[in-house]
Amino acid sequence: EVQLVQSGAEVKKPGESLKISCKGSGYSFTSYWIGWVRQMPGKGLEWMGIIYPGDSDTRYSPSFQGQVTISADKSISTAYLQWSSLKASDTAMYYCVRQYSSSWYPPFFDYWGQGTLVTVSS
């Protein structure tokens, strides 16, 4: 069974750093792109970026370039999303997603993690 299991909720202060994780299981972790999606309180979904754990090729949405870092450790089938200096506006739910890609269909996000709630408040 394919699963993406994310790390638990975090409460941080502005200016602090943070790294949240997403562990994949039940499939070949290095063969699928893993992405991150933000959902601010009461708002819609925003695509942040994506990484291919097989070679660490990483792409960012222009809105998030330079604001976060996406990485992966294929030895433990885990992807990460990190901030070096959090802001109150980073308060949101963050989801990791698996991208299914094939020669036959356009890509899509077939599995989602349960979400990690990040709260940034002084």
Partner 1 sequence: DIQLTQSPSFLSASVGDRVTITCRASQGISSYLAWYQQKPGKAPKLLIYAASTLQSGVPSRFSGSGSGTEFTLTISSLQPEDFATYYCQQLNSYLSYTFGQGTKLEIK
**Per CB under 8 A, 106 contacts partner 1:** yes
Is 62 an interacting residue with respect to partner 1 (CB under 8 A)?
yes
- Specify the residue, 89 or 114, whose C-beta has the smaller distance to partner 1: 114
Of the candidates 5, 59, 84, 89, which one interacts with partner 1 according to CB under 8 A? Answer: 59
Question: Which residues are CB-neighbours of 82 under 8 A, at least 6 positions away?
Answer: 17, 18, 19, 20, 68, 69, 70, 71
CB of 99 to partner 1, least distance (A): 8
Q: Of 35 and 53, which has the nearer Cβ to partner 1?
A: 35
Question: Which among 20-28, 66-74, 76-84, 111-119 is the span making contact with partner 1, rule CB under 8 A?
Answer: 111-119
The answer to whether residue 47 forms part of the interface with partner 1 (CB under 8 A) is yes
